[in-house]
A and B are shown apart, each in its own frame.
Chain A
């Protein structure tokens, strides 16, 4: 497998969705290609930082408008 092949398979590799033989071929390439290893590691970290980032509180005025709309809907249903 060459560098282009690694880049094409990088997503499935990160997600653990590669066939064993392709995975082994890719990992053999990573053993001697520092640049591809860097791209794999950084792409994995990219996914992780987005996935692991903490929630931001809902802005107060947005929350008020949501709950006002919800209250109207709940009242409407209970009438």
Chain B
């Protein structure tokens, strides 16, 4: 059985307790420069390098396989068409993430026009208070096999409302900055922070079912 499309290691690390990711290989800028000069093999290498991550991103945003595939394809094709416009003062992958996130968001808004909002959340603080506080034990990450963990994370994120999911994916999985996330999604920085807080608390609650001592029963 094909494991669910999962979530993966990100780029830069906004969280101080995390070390910077090494996803970017040192030769990325060389490949980009060669691709800009018309070297199609260099561009293909960039695609090979990032296709799984971009598909994971579009899948995480749309939660629809057909939309995710279309968004991924269009992101790569657009990045190729606009490669000459890419300013090399940022990472190619970060630029690609922005394009792919926009493609995925467009499809999400089209499919679920009433489920994705640009407004500030109207929920009060009361809903934030955590329920179901149980000990997770010393290291839940080691209790599950990789495939099992992917299924757990996929299910948890699948049940998160699109408003929260999109912000969480861009900010915590792709590790865009709060400002970059706000720009991509088209909401304010305080709205990103508010949605991120809610997303993290909701996901903690969902994971509690699996990670608490004694498992999912």
A residues adjacent to B (C-beta < 8 A): 3-4, 7-8, 10-12, 14-16, 35, 38-39, 42-59, 62-63, 65-67, 69-70, 73-74, 77-78
Contacts and interface: CB of A to CB of B under 8 A. Distances in A.
27 contacts: A7-B125, A8-B125, A8-B197, A14-B15, A14-B200, A16-B16, A35-B133, A38-B133, A39-B133, A42-B208, A47-B200, A50-B168, A51-B172, A52-B9, A53-B6, A53-B7, A53-B9, A54-B146, A56-B4, A56-B5, A56-B8, A56-B56, A58-B51, A62-B55, A69-B77, A70-B44, A70-B77
Interface string B62-77: 0000000100110011
Contacts of A50: 7, 153, 157, 168, 172-173, 203
A35 B150 CA distance: 28
Most buried by A among B73, B172, B204: B204
Interface in B1-46: 2-10, 14-18, 40, 43-44
Contacts of A69: 73, 76-77
Contact of A55 (B8, B69, B125): B8
B69 A65 contact: yes
Interface residues of B, number: 58
Interface string B129-168: 1100101100011000010011001000100000000001
A4 B129 contact: yes
Contacts of A49: 140-141, 149, 153, 207
Contact of B47 (A12, A44, A70): A70
A59 B4 CA distance: 10
B131 to A, nearest CB: 10
B203 A46 contact: yes
B173 A51 contact: yes
A10 B9 contact: no
B196 interface: yes
Contacts of A62: 55, 69, 72
A7 B73 contact: no
Contacts of B211: 42, 45
B103 interface: no
Given A73-B77, A74-B40, A47 B52 contact: no
